[in-house]
Structures are given as structure tokens and as C-alpha cells.
Amino acid sequence: MSRSRDLILARVRAALAGVPDVEIPRAYRGPSETPPETPSATPSETQGEIRLFEERLRDYRAVVHVVAEAAVPERVARSLAERGARRVAVPGGFPAAWPAAARAELVADEPPLTAADLDALDGVLTTCAVAVADTGTIVLDAGPGQGRRALSLVPDYHLCVVRAGQIVAGVPDAVARLDPVRPLTWISGPSATSDIELNRVEGVHGPRTLEVLIVT
């Protein structure tokens, strides 16, 4: 194998002899100077981002609710009841108060559930690491309340709780905040395909229903 390594590197070097380098112009909008949850962000700016995020999510046919912190347990209970979810996975580190009012059985991933176990669940509750208003994207990084990647993939229903302070304006803001060492999953709406006549159809292998609670 190392022979091919040397061969490829030698070919690359031979191909590049005398080729000049180029400057990278970064005239595009980079990460914002002030992250929105810092006091310097004005309330109207934050409000605008929440509204945009909500609108983009609805474009992907995700279900969205904007709720106050105190109303989260009731909203979670109602969403799970409306869905008819009886057994849902709850990753370690998910705030205990939020699913407290739910009548569904809460299943921990300890010891790790098998793929078949996950497939038998009705849904999963998670938090997120960051959310992008401009593209309606939620990013999970396997941190507290998010669990390993399979947890938010195999069950057919994903309820994600996003705190308003986690919503950033654009993609560059999210990239700047994320840690590449962690496994990252960027989610923009429910699973979908454009493979049949290039029309978007929601619902293939990932969760077919994505419900998002934005906590203000």
C-alpha cells in the first residue's frame, strides 16, 4: 500500500512543479461578530431569527411550536399524546423536567439499545447543539440530551427541543461553534428524497416526522 502512497504523492508533486498558488478571497458573509445569546444582541434580532428558523422548518414540513420554558413539559406531553407515542427514547442529559408530564414510557439508552430495540420505539426526544435560522437546520453533536447518532435516526418520530439562544443566523455561525472531533448530524426537516422526477417527497429512511419545540 505504501508503494501506491509514494507513487501518488510523487505524481502529485510532478504535476504541480512550478504552478503558482492562489489567495482565497473571503468576501462572503462570515460568522456574526456577536453570537445572538450574548446581551449585545437586540431582542428584535433574536425574534427575527426565531421567526426565520420557524418559517424555514415549516418549508420542510416539520411541525414547529414556539413555547415558553415553563410550558415545555405540557407541550412535550401533548405532542407525544397526539402522536400516540407509547415508548420513546430519552438520551442521557435530557432535562428531566421536560418529559415529566408525559404518559409515554421513557426508555434510556443504558445499556445501549440494539438496532432492533430502536426500531421498536415510537420516537425519540433530543436537545441539539446549535440551530441555523437561514437554512432551518438543527445540528446534533452527541452531547448531553442528544445521545449517539442512531438514537435520532432509527425511530420514526423525532421531537427536538431547541433553546432560542442556540439559534444562529447562518451556516458560517454554526460551523464556527461546532467541534469537528464530535460526531455531527445536520438535520434539515424530516427524511426526504428528490429521486422520483426530482420532486421532494418527505419520509424515507430517517424519521418521517420531525417536530421542533423552540423554547423562548
Q: Hey, which residues between 50 and 79 contact other proteins (CB under 8 A)? A: 56, 59-60
Q: Which long-range contacts (CB under 8 A, 24 or more apart) does 105-111 make?
A: 109/147, 109/148, 109/151
Site string for other proteins, 2-21 (x = CB under 8 A): x-xx-xxx-xxxxxx--xxx
CB of 139 to other proteins, least distance (A): 9
CB of 130 to other proteins, least distance (A): 13
Question: Residues 126 to 185: which contact other proteins by CB under 8 A?
Answer: 132, 134-137, 142, 148-150, 153-154, 171-172, 175-176, 180-181, 183-185
DSSP state of 6: H
* Residue 96 found at the interface with other proteins (CB under 8 A): no
Distance CA 188, CA 177 (A): 18
Binding test (CB under 8 A) with other proteins, winner from 25, 39, 43, 111: 25
CB of 147 to other proteins, least distance (A): 10
Q: Per the structure block, which three cell numbers stand in for 216? A: 423562548
**How many chain residues are in contact with other proteins, going by CB under 8 A?**
74
What is the DSSP secondary-structure string of 28-75?
A: S--S-SS-TTSTTS-HHHHHHHHHHHHHHHHHTT-EEEEE-GGGHHHH
